[in-house]
């Protein structure tokens, strides 16, 4: 079975979660399948190639699950990007707009060294707000964004368009 089919067969839709009108993409069946999970991690590493990144930035919360093993396989450090107020040391923060309101994310101010090559990893690219804000945090922190790798891109939300020249690597696009 090809990787795309393996991924799609292991992501279940949960209608009306976490609120009415949302179709939640549940990746827990994929994570529970060692072949699918390993395939996802290997595909990200193979796409960018070992030695091409210094740090992997994972976006809270499901991005952490994918980013940590990717960092391990790259021999790179892992940097969490979290919602405001969740990190214990001095932070950089970036606020971005949501459909109704705004959200603020943070990264430790000392997480990146000047010129470090950074791959951002998350589970889903939807509207591009979180990914764009994360890329801005990386740049403000002194890093160079090598790309954004996601398990799934929801193309009907046009998030890629908000990311400018950022290389976007989606394992599945729906």
Domain ranges for the chain, please list them: 50-173
pLDDT for the residue numbered 147: 97
pLDDT for the residue numbered 99: 65
In 3-state terms, what secondary structure has residue 159? helix
| The one catalytic residue among 10, 62, 117, 160 | 62
Between CA 143 and CA 128 the distance in angstroms is: 19
99 labelled catalytic: yes
Between CA 73 and CA 3 the distance in angstroms is: 19
82 labelled catalytic: no
| The one catalytic residue among 16, 90, 99, 116 | 99
Question: Which top CATH class is 50-173?
Answer: alpha beta
pLDDT in tens, 22-54: 889 999 999 999 999 999 999 999 999 888 999
Q: What mean pLDDT is predicted for residues 11-21?
A: 92
pLDDT in tens, 58-91: 999 999 999 999 999 999 999 999 999 999 999 9
Q: Is the pLDDT of residue 133 over 90?
A: yes
Between CA 45 and CA 27 the distance in angstroms is: 19
Is the peptide bond preceding residue 42 cis, with omega within 30 degrees of 0? Answer: no
Report which of 145, 148, 92 is spatially closest to residue 116, judged by C-alpha positions. Answer: 145
């Amino acid at each position: 079975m090809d990787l795309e089919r393996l991924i799609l067969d292991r992501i279940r839709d949960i209608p009306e979660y976490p609120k009415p009108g949302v179709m939640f993409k549940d990746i827990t069946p994929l994570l529970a399948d060692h072949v699918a999970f390993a395939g996802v991690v290997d595909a990200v590493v193979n796409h960018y190639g070992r030695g091409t990144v210094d740090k992997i930035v994972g976006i809270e919360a499901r991005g952490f699950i994918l980013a940590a093993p990717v960092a391990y396989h790259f021999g790179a450090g892992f940097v969490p990007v979290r919602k405001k107020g969740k990190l214990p040391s001095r932070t950089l923060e970036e606020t971005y707009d949501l459909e109704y309101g705004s959200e603020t994310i943070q990264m430790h101010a000392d997480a990146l060294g000047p010129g470090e090559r950074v791959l951002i990893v998350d589970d889903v690219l939807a509207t591009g707000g979180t990914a764009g804000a994360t890329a801005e945090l990386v740049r403000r922190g002194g890093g160079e964004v090598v790309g954004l790798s996601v398990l799934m891109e929801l193309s009907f939300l046009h998030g890629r368009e908000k990311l400018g020249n950022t290389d976007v690597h989606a394992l599945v696009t729906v």
